[in-house]
């Protein structure tokens, strides 16, 4: 019995491009933001956004999470992305984010991160990917071989918790992708709050 051509979503490329633009990221930056540094190159993102190629399922899931929508919204041509997509989590240097219509608080958290892998090269590669893809967003400053200071802007404690746990999830996923394990601890300077 023959197999016909696989059906492809006709609006996927447009949706992927719209997500990247809403996040205010370049094609290189979206690779890091989604946690695929070292696995994708800019020309592949361009191919996805022009409809020449389709991303694999894990990449589609990462796009959906970044946009905070179900994967089905990306795939189903009958469904639209929300009009308002989440803005980039980039922190505006030296400026309060009050211009967005919400009062934002800022805090400094200390992240302790130990990575163990099959080799020192693998551990260093994972650390570099985590620094470039995830910690950079929070103005990471290395304070020792295993510690970083991160600056978070947040609306309330629930928002801060959500951001911290999302970051920890991204770090764990990055380590998993390279068969590494991590030990991680996050605490707020001066308050003793831990995650």
Tokens of 83: 């009009």
**Residue-wise pLDDT tens digits, 8-30:** 899 999 999 999 998 888 998 89
Q: Whole-angstrom Cα distance, residue 187 to residue 112?
A: 9
Domains of the chain: 12-75 (1.10.260.40), 102-188 (3.30.70.360)
Give the β-pairing of 141-142 and 105-116.
Answer: unpaired
Q: Whole-angstrom Cα distance, residue 14 to residue 140?
A: 32
- Whether the model clears a pTM of 0.85, i.e. scores above it, the answer is no
Q: How confident is the model at residue 106 (pLDDT cuts 50, 70, 90)?
A: confident
Sheet holding 181-188, edge to edge: 141-142, 147-154, 105-116, 181-188
């Amino acid at each position: 019995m023959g197999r016909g051509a696989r059906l492809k979503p006709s609006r996927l490329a447009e949706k992927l491009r719209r997500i990247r633009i809403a996040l205010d990221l370049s094609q290189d930056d979206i690779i890091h933001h989604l946690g695929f540094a070292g696995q994708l190159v800019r020309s592949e993102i361009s191919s996805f956004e022009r409809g020449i190629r389709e991303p694999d399922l894990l990449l589609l899931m990462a796009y959906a999470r970044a946009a905070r929508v179900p994967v089905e919204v990306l795939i189903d041509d009958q469904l639209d992305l929300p009009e308002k997509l989440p803005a980039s989590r980039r922190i505006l240097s030296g400026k309060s984010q009050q211009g967005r219509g919400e009062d934002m608080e800022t805090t400094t958290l200390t992240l302790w991160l130990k990575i163990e892998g099959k080799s020192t090269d693998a551990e260093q590669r994972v650390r570099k990917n985590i620094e470039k893809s995830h910690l950079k967003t929070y103005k990471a400053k290395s304070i020792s071989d295993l510690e970083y200071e991160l600056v978070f802007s947040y609306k309330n404690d629930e928002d801060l918790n959500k951001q911290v746990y999302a970051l920890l999830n991204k770090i764990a996923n990055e380590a998993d992708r390279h068969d590494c394990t991590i030990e991680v601890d996050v605490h707020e300077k001066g308050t003793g709050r831990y995650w």
